[in-house]
Amino acid sequence: MTAPTEFAPGLVVQGFAPPLRLRDFELIAFDMDSTLINIECVDEIADAVGRKAEVAAITEAAMRGEITDFKHSLRRRVALLEGVTVADMERVYTERLRLNPGAAELVAACRAAGLKTLLVSGGFTFFAERVRAELGIDFVRANVLELRSGPHCGALTGRLLPQCWGDICDGAEKRRTLLEVASLLGLEPAQCIAVGDGANDLPMMAAAGLSVAFQAKPVVRTQAHVAINQGGLERLLEVVRP
């Protein structure tokens, strides 16, 4: 890539000369936690059983790229969620989860320009499906938390359920999902935009024609075509015009 340039305050671009046109792209893929939404859901769920600090430390190390085995790190964190109830997760959703500034505006602009939208998350379907519905996103892939059956039903077991596509949505799966959806739509990777904030987003960002780091970890900012370091997600529209 060419050297990064501050296109506007808090908005850095590298590897191309802006502005681009949104209509030159056909698919945009978003990470969820700390990208479309303001929290890391796994950390907030852990707060219900007094383990937020322990879980958040693992999350931070994974997002910074200091832990390279995302699957192992996620299993460690999910194991610490054993006993959390569906009611606890409902409270996280209603009391703590908010869309990040500009998320709704950016998704709406993309939809208006004819792009398909994809949410691909290392988080959980409990939240991802709701965010999908709220924003009108076309496709979603995330992890499924296992619930106890029997007398203790409605509480987490501390495990994830395998799905038809695999066991855990990590960085490699995010990349594969982006390319799979693009292929199903008859698109080339160059027609895709990928937006994320953590190290596990880098594989899909590297596969896309345009990569966007939103309020991201340093390892992600330095590798993205666009880094939004101040303001909301709608600032992408300053670089990629509707």
**CATH number of the domain encompassing residue 35:** 3.40.50.1000
Number of domains into which the chain is organized: 1
Report CA 78 to chain centroid distance, whole Å: 18
Whole-number CA gyration radius for the chain: 18
Q: List CB contacts of 68: < 8 A, sequence separation 6 or more.
A: none
CB 233 within 8 A of CB 105: yes
- Please give the model's pTM, rounded to 2 decimal places: 0.96
Using the predicted structure, report yes or no on whether residue 19 has a pLDDT greater than 70: yes
Please confirm, yes or no, whether 33 is among the known catalytic residues.
Answer: yes
Least Cα distance to 143 among 120, 171, 117, 116 occurs for: 120
Largest CA distance in the chain: 60
CA atoms 166, 31, 198, 93: torsion sign: negative
Catalytic residue among 33, 43, 88, 197: 33
Residue 1 pLDDT more than 70? no
pLDDT tens-digit series, residues 151-185:
667 899 999 999 999 999 999 999 999 999 999 99
Average the pLDDT over 221-226 and give the result: 97
Catalytic position from the list 31, 43, 197, 201: 31
Written as six digits, the tokens of 158 are 């501390």
Instruction: State the pLDDT at residue 152.
Output: 62
User: What pLDDT is attached to residue 151?
Assistant: 61
Catalytic residue flag (residue 138): no
The predicted pLDDT at position 153 comes to 73
Q: How many residues does the chain have?
A: 242
Tell me, what's the pLDDT at 155? Answer: 94
Lowest mean pLDDT among 4-8, 15-19, 149-153, 237-241: 149-153
> Tens of pLDDT along 76-107?
999 999 999 999 999 999 999 999 999 999 99
At 103-129, the pLDDT tens digits run: 999 999 999 999 999 999 999 999 999
C-alpha dihedral sign at 65, 71, 72, 73 = positive
User: DSSP readout, 119-184?
Assistant: EEEEEEHHHHHHHHHHHT-SEEEEEEEEE--GGGTTBEEEEEE-BTTBS---HHHHHHHHHHHHHH
pLDDT band at 17 (very low <50, low <70, confident <90, very high): confident
Return the amino acid letter for 212. V
Residue 230 CB: number of other CB atoms within 10 A? 11
Look at residues 21, 152, 42 and name the one whose alpha carbon lies nearest to residue 89. 42
* 198: containing domain: 5-241
